[in-house]
């Protein structure tokens, strides 16, 4: 069976978990406190971070490379469209969330509020939290603009772009940092993706010291 | 003809430029001072950064999504191998350089020494420069370890992984921040890639206020 070394609220791990679950690839989860630099773990992944996936006799790192591999090796159900143009749009949006959204929002809210405490790195920087809370509004508006034109973020079918976005937003929702009242289309999109069987395990996550709010796992939030 | 909005020393732009040149796609270059937030440019790319490529009637951003698109639309000569395993390794290494190397080295040396001055953001933070100078050694050793086992970084053929690495290293070489004496295999690898016709335009780059050292464009460095 495949095995994923992860931390529950990492959006990069969640993107891989969603891909695995959607493709019905059974996978054992192992929490990895990667910041403690366990030598065994560093041997598995010289980059020293999660996710790390053991599958098909290999040990893999880098979430986007892993998701592209899963797509090529386990093509059904597809999380990438067929045409080069449509695939470009999926990859552009995956990068949008994993780079831009991550640096402007996730790292400033989730990492300040949760990771710092879990890793024993002190208190949240209130300036960062303020900047993140401001930036997420602009990103939700961008998503709303996309979803005004499309059924899913990258087009008319659900793709890895939706999973990348949902991975970040679900982690932030765990700490109540997403205002779902800002945009109806974004809320509808999240309700659709949240109700997929692939999402169940993520909604059952629990981080010690950070109980999730009631709406987190509620499909009718 | 295609048109690329770029800045000369951006490793992300250089990766795209190398892909375009290797595939013999003619492309006009336009320097874009993206940090000045020109509204016309923001319309072309809401992420507000370079590279932005106009090609095939579309305007594209995100360097990795662009390179994957070029690979699918202009497959010859190939910069990605055929098997899922080999493609994974290419993508893992592209992420290694664009994420890890970028945050640990490029952002701490190039951005401190050049970008800050060009963008009018003050003087280099000496702590960052020191950290970057330390980290690049570890990365060169990792490359040497890979190249002890392989002809190119991801395997026996040249791929996008080599271009991603060469894009970062060539930008750092422009400010003399690469110690080519550290590893003979890494130097040999760079000599091979530097002598490709695709590299010529990059070796001719000039940044105002930062004249390149003599060895930068020298194929026998």
Q: What is the pLDDT of residues B89-119, one digit of tens each?
A: 999 999 999 999 999 999 999 999 998 888 8
Residues 6+ apart with CB under 8 A from A39: none
pLDDT reported for residue B84: 98
Q: How confident is the model at residue A48 (pLDDT cuts 50, 70, 90)?
A: confident
Taking contacts as CB-CB distances below 8 angstroms, the residues of chain A near B95 are 62, 64-65
Q: Do A91 and B46 touch (CB under 8 A)?
A: no
**H/E segment holding residue B58:** strand B58-61
Share of chain A above pLDDT 70, in %: 100
Taking contacts as CB-CB distances below 8 angstroms, the residues of chain B near A97 are none
Q: Do A87 and B69 touch (CB under 8 A)?
A: yes
Q: What is the pLDDT of residues A149-193, one digit of tens each?
A: 999 999 999 999 999 999 999 999 999 999 999 999 999 999 999
Q: What is the pLDDT of residues B130-150, one digit of tens each?
A: 999 999 999 999 999 999 999
| pLDDT at A38 exceeding the cut of 90 | no
**Closest CA of chain B from A149, distance in Å:** 16
The dihedrals phi and psi of B93, each to the nearest 5 degrees, come to -75, -35
Q: Do A62 and B142 touch (CB under 8 A)?
A: no
Mean pLDDT of B208-216: 93
Strand order in the sheet with A27-31: A27-31, A2-6, A52-55, A58-61
| pLDDT at B193 exceeding the cut of 90 | yes
**∠ at Cα B90 (B31, B82), nearest 5°?**
115
**Closest CA of chain A from B13, distance in Å:** 15
Least CB–CB distance from B65: residue in A61, A72, A88 = A88
Dist CA B10 CA B101 (whole Å): 13
| pLDDT at B43 exceeding the cut of 80 | no
**Closest CA of chain B from A53, distance in Å:** 12
Instruction: Find, among A209, A42, A54, A58, the residue nearest to A119 by Cα.
Output: A209
Least CB–CB distance from A65: residue in B46, B73, B88 = B88
Please count the residues of chain A. 221
Q: What dihedral do alpha carbons A16, A113, B62, A144 form, nearest 10°?
A: 90
Residue of B nearest to A142 (CA): B46
Dist CA A79 CA A90 (whole Å): 9
Residues 6+ apart with CB under 8 A from A208: none
Residues 6+ apart with CB under 8 A from A84: B69, B72, B73
Per the listing, tokens 């996008």 go with: B160
Q: Do B92 and A58 touch (CB under 8 A)?
A: no
Domains and CATH numbers, chain B: 84-196 (1.20.1050.10)
Provide the token pair at A140: 């939700």
Residue, of A95 and A32, whose pLDDT is higher: A95
Residue of B nearest to A72 (CA): B84
Average pLDDT, chain B: 95
Q: How confident is the model at residue B72 (pLDDT cuts 50, 70, 90)?
A: very high
Contact yes or no for A63/A9 (Cβ under 8 A): no
Q: Do A91 and B65 touch (CB under 8 A)?
A: yes
Q: Do A47 and B96 touch (CB under 8 A)?
A: yes
Provide the token pair at A198: 């692939």
Q: Do B61 and A88 touch (CB under 8 A)?
A: no
């Amino acid at each position: 069976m495949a095995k994923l070394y992860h931390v529950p609220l990492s959006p990069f791990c969640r993107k891989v978990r969603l891909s695995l679950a959607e493709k019905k690839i059974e996978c054992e989860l192992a929490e990895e406190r990667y910041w403690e630099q366990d030598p065994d773990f560093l041997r598995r992944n010289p980059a020293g971070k999660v996710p790390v996936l053991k599958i098909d006799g290999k040990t893999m790192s880098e979430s986007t490379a892993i998701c592209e591999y899963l797509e090529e090796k386990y093509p059904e159900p597809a999380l990438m469209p067929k045409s080069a143009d449509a695939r470009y749009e999926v990859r552009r949006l995956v990068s949008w969330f994993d780079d831009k959204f991550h640096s402007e929002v996730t790292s400033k809210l989730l990492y300040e509020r949760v990771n710092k405490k879990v890793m024993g790195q002190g208190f949240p920087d209130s300036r960062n939290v303020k900047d993140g809370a401001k930036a997420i509004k602009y990103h939700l508006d961008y998503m709303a603009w996309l979803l005004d034109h499309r059924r899913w973020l990258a087009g008319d079918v659900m793709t890895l772009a939706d999973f990348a976005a949902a991975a970040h937003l679900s982690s932030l929702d765990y700490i109540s940092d997403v205002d779902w009242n800002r945009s109806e289309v974004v809320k509808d999109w999240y309700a659709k993706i949240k109700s997929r069987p692939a999402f169940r395990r993520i909604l059952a996550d629990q981080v010690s010291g950070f109980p999730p709010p009631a709406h987190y796992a509620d499909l009718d939030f």
